[in-house]
Structure 1
Amino acid sequence: MRKVWRRACALAVAPLVMASAAACGGNDSEDAAGKKTLRVIVNITPNLTEKYWSGLFARYEKNHPDVKVKLELTGTISANAKLTQDLAAGDPPDIAQQISLTAENASLFTDLSDQPWTNDTPLVDQYAIDGKRYMVGVGEQIQSLVFYNKAAFTKAGVDATKIRTMDQFTSAMGKLKSAGYKPLQTAGQWVTGAQFSMMADAGVLTEDPQWTVKRNQGKGSFADSGYVPYLKHYKSWIDSGYLEKSALGLTYADGQTAFLNGKSAMYIMGSYFVPAADAAKKSDEIGVFSMPTDGAYPSGQFGNISNPYVVVNKSRHKAEATEFVKWLVTDREAIKSQLAADGNLRGGFSYPMSSLGTEVQKVLDKAPSVIVKSGSSQPISGFSDELNKQIQSLYTGASAKNAAAGLDKWWNSQS
């Protein structure tokens, strides 16, 4: 990605921001020839590339000649961080995708509750803040999934349909290691903590859907909860060499590539992995099963809203921004495009799926629920970063007890 960085903005925005020619203190120069420019912040991923977003936006522009949609690149930082920087610089975008909506920052965004088209968007009320709809999305993702290399399982004599408990999962890792495979693929960056959530939340929050609500109320602790057994399982995998310590040096993309290249036997990841497998033409070689648990099986699927959008309150073109978001989440072709690009799902919408995508859909169909951490069930802001830190500490000698205590100490310090 090309770094575009205006010297006049340096102190306010900092050199890490890789934005497409954003002007400090306003965008009057962006509106030209009677067109209104909508600046949109998105996350760029291996599936949702700059090319993909530009193509999607071009579809809208074709039928709305008075609007120019401008992709704001975030470079090495998240969409959330880019939005924060732009707002601090007095240079607000119009729309942001994939941001963390909380009660504390909701006032930064437009209340869409009076827009009737929001009624049919996925999980809209689960993400409401004090009953108000600020965020709307295209579909939903499920994330408590274990993708596996079929050839590795065959060689190791492991039957994926028989893996239902954490002990059976651990036993399978031992057989896969003996067969010459890295049993479970992980990576550094955000992946370590995210994979733990995909694993542990499925079991803990299926058993007690109100656990996070209670923790927010100061009731209970991580150290005295169902998370501890999962921390112990995870630590045992590191000690047994089923998870390689060197994996912390890998990026998300590196870990995904390692699994796709057959270097590891299993990979815990969300449904958005499917398009990557499809693109690599590996879908038929990969299977999937619901995350094993220490409790009921199958468990609820830890999941979330996919491609969520907010309209920034300080947008110079709020009406046009709202109309564009409406198109993104209600136009049938725009919806299908976004669902297919990131392997997401939505009731009433179908698109051609690979064999692997079809298997993921079957997992969702059998799941008793989709577990969403939002609203009153949303952890304290910053928790995902702290969880990532504590899970990575297991690689450097910390115990499961230490990690649980660390999570409690951090959480209590934020209250």
Structure 2
Amino acid sequence: MRRSTMLAPWLLALVTTGVLAAACAPSTGADDPAAAGGSESQAGEATDAAGDETTGAAADETTLSVWSWRPEDKAAYKRIFDAYEAEHPGVTVEFKPYLNTEYNTILATGLTEEGGPDVAQLRAYGQLQPLVEAGELTALDGEVPELDDFAPEVLEGAKGREDDKLYGVPFAVQTMQIFYNKQMFDDAGVAEPKTWDEFVAALETFKQDGVMPIATTGKDTWMLPILHDTVAATRYGGQEFQAALQSGETDFTDPDYVASIEVVDQLKPFLPPDVAGVAYTDAQTLFTTGKAAMYPGGSFELGFFRTQAPDMEIGVFSVPPPPGSPVDTPLVPGWADGSWGVNADSPDREAALELVRWMASQEFGQQFTDELGQISAVPGTEPTDEVLAEIVDAYAEHPAPYLLLVDYRYGEPMGTDLMAEGMQELLLGKAEPADVAKKVDSGIAQWFEPQGG
């Protein structure tokens, strides 16, 4: 049984104290020593010594391959790793991103074959476990002293379930909220909604004006559980519901959970037409090009939005509680995102460990926050982006877990996959909310045992 994880007390403490104000081959290359030395025009022992020195320097050059599921972050990581290379002469860091939807399979294969990464971006919680169990990662206990300063709640997502060892340096905390285009809100005479009725009225206003109210994807189903929790975590109750599930007091067929799925069903008229055919990148473009007023998503989107629409004035809000909600304040679901780990078979293991030690430093954490517009997991970093700081404040005030990711990815089928499939069926009109809830419940019941059960 996996204990549930909640990040909020950690983040609230950091914000309060000011610590976090915003709370393919691994290869070694070398230049041709003869070309560098020019020793044929010289004679004697001095020539031999110069040749030996040149050869030795070239042999010290190391190229580290770093894999990621974030193609949109490539330019930012280039700048970040440029700083590392400047401080570590002879080391080149190659950032190799892959499509998010293909990354898990590519990484699992790459870690078992020659040509895999030296350092890899690792999924958190349950999705980390197969790589740990296969012995494909280097345990970082004692190897990265900086991890002693990380919050235990953040480290939880980077641990092996059975051995409790650390296998990654956490890089981010993510939250869910609605991003909106302030200019479009102003033009439509719409204010940031504080109640559910105001939220629905805003959606109706945009729709009547011929503007797409909400941009989202129904094709790339990994985003659908995020859509659900962004708009409806408040409807099922956040932390209290999490505790009831863990104890066995209730399950996913609970009326409040069914009602949370009904919230998404009620919002279908305000989503893109034929939303099940809209890709993730298309949804992002709808928002960044001003064709949609709102975008429900993770805090990881902010940096990309800034890059793609630098002139857009972006706002954020948490969806107000729908009628019947067991809580009376908006909730902000969040989770510890992935981590950076070292391939157990890396031929440049020491150099890779040195890189992940740097990734645990405040220097890296601050660059991560500044370049990517995300909440760094490294203690002592401070977001300089006002919207990101607002996001962190909201999460500290009204936290909730990204329930299906944090607690229900430790077995098969995973909770997020079940919700993704069910939610797509809902959007296609092939399932009712109760059907989706039953799908999630029956799938998770195949491997999950409540603590009180």
TM-score category of the 2 structures, normalised to the smaller one: 0.7 to 0.9
Q: Aligned residue for 2:55?
A: none
Q: Aligned residue for 1:86?
A: 110
Q: Distance in 2 between matches of 1:243 and 1:235?
A: 10
Q: Distance in 1 between matches of 2:312 and 2:328?
A: 25
Q: Distance in 1 between matches of 2:405 and 2:440?
A: 19
Quote the offset at 1:400 in angstroms.
0.7
Q: What RMSD in Å do the two structures reach over aligned CA positions? A: 3.1
Aligned amino acid, residue 266 of structure 2: S
Worse-matched range after superposition: 262-271 or 32-41: 32-41
Q: 2:213 pairs with 173, 176, 183, which one? A: 183
Q: Aligned residue for 1:337?
A: 367
Q: Distance in 2 between matches of 1:297 and 1:151?
A: 29
Q: 1:149 to 1:71 in 2, by over 3 A?
A: closer
Is the Cα–Cα contact under 8 Å of residues 27 and 63 in structure 2 kept in the other structure? no
Task: Map Cα deviations across residues 58-109 of structure 1 (whole Å, 9 max, x no partner).
Answer: 3222222343323334257543222111134355422111424434432432
Quote the offset at 1:161 in angstroms.
4.4
Quote the offset at 1:292 in angstroms.
2.4
Q: Distance in 2 between matches of 1:94 and 1:43?
A: 15
Q: Aligned residue for 1:62?
A: 86
Task: Map Cα deviations across residues 144-167 of structure 1 (whole Å, 9 max, x no partner).
Answer: x1122334434555432423x4x5
User: Is 1:159 aligned to residue 191 of structure 2?
Assistant: yes
User: Is 1:113 aligned to residue 113 of structure 2?
Assistant: no
Worse-matched range after superposition: 270-279 or 101-110: 101-110
User: Is 1:363 aligned to residue 394 of structure 2?
Assistant: yes
Q: Aligned residue for 2:319?
A: 291
Is the Cα–Cα contact under 8 Å of residues 110 and 313 in structure 1 kept in the other structure? yes
Q: Aligned residue for 2:66?
A: 40
Aligned amino acid, residue 257 of structure 1: T
User: Is 1:149 aligned to residue 181 of structure 2?
Assistant: yes
Task: For structure 2, list consecutive stretches of 5 or more residues without a partner in the other structure.
Answer: 1-23, 31-57, 449-453
Is the Cα–Cα contact under 8 Å of residues 126 and 374 in structure 1 kept in the other structure? no
Worse-matched range after superposition: 98-107 or 182-191: 98-107
Q: Aligned residue for 1:281?
A: 310
Is the Cα–Cα contact under 8 Å of residues 185 and 293 in structure 2 kept in the other structure? yes
Larger Rg: 2
Task: For structure 1, list consecutive stretches of 5 or more residues without a partner in the other structure.
Answer: 1-20
Is the Cα–Cα contact under 8 Å of residues 331 and 400 in structure 2 kept in the other structure? yes
Q: Distance in 2 between matches of 1:409 and 1:92?
A: 37
Q: Distance in 2 between matches of 1:206 and 1:78?
A: 32
Q: Distance in 1 between matches of 2:405 and 2:416?
A: 13
Aligned amino acid, residue 176 of structure 1: F
Q: Distance in 2 between matches of 1:234 and 1:377?
A: 21
Is the Cα–Cα contact under 8 Å of residues 136 and 329 in structure 1 kept in the other structure? yes
> Larger relative CO (CA 8 A, sep 6+): 1 or 2?
2
Deviation beyond 6 Å, 4+ runs, structure 1: 372-375
Give SS of 2:98's match: coil
Q: Aligned residue for 1:314?
A: 345
Q: Distance in 2 between matches of 1:69 and 1:125?
A: 25
Q: Distance in 2 between matches of 1:139 and 1:84?
A: 22
Q: Distance in 2 between matches of 1:318 and 1:200?
A: 44
Give SS of 1:380's match: coil
Quote the offset at 1:268 in angstroms.
0.8
User: Is 1:400 aligned to residue 428 of structure 2?
Assistant: no
Aligned amino acid, residue 342 of structure 1: L
| TM score, norm. by length of structure 1 | 0.79
Aligned amino acid, residue 141 of structure 2: S
Is the Cα–Cα contact under 8 Å of residues 40 and 95 in structure 1 kept in the other structure? yes
Q: Distance in 1 between matches of 2:29 and 2:125?
A: 28
Q: Distance in 1 between matches of 2:71 and 2:94?
A: 18
How many residues in Structure 1 have an aligned counterpart in Structure 2?
378
Q: Aligned residue for 1:323?
A: 354
Task: Map Cα deviations across residues 340-392 of structure 1 (whole Å, 9 max, x no partner).
Answer: 23222245322432x53343344234334666767756553543233212111
Q: Distance in 1 between matches of 2:86 and 2:350?
A: 19
Is the Cα–Cα contact under 8 Å of residues 142 and 370 in structure 1 kept in the other structure? no
Q: Aligned residue for 2:252?
A: 222
Q: Aligned residue for 1:200?
A: 232
Q: Aligned residue for 1:302?
A: 333
Is the Cα–Cα contact under 8 Å of residues 27 and 347 in structure 2 kept in the other structure? no
Q: Aligned residue for 1:7?
A: none
Give SS of 1:269's match: strand
Q: Percent identity?
A: 25
Q: Aligned residue for 1:140?
A: 173
Q: 1:74 to 1:259 in 2, by over 3 A?
A: closer
Q: 1:135 to 1:79 in 2, by over 3 A?
A: same
Aligned amino acid, residue 66 of structure 2: V
Q: 1:249 pairs with 277, 290, 301, which one? A: 277
Give SS of 2:169's match: coil
Quote the offset at 1:242 in angstroms.
1.4
Is the Cα–Cα contact under 8 Å of residues 318 and 331 in structure 2 kept in the other structure? no
Q: Distance in 1 between matches of 2:124 and 2:168?
A: 10
Quote the offset at 1:118 in angstroms.
0.2
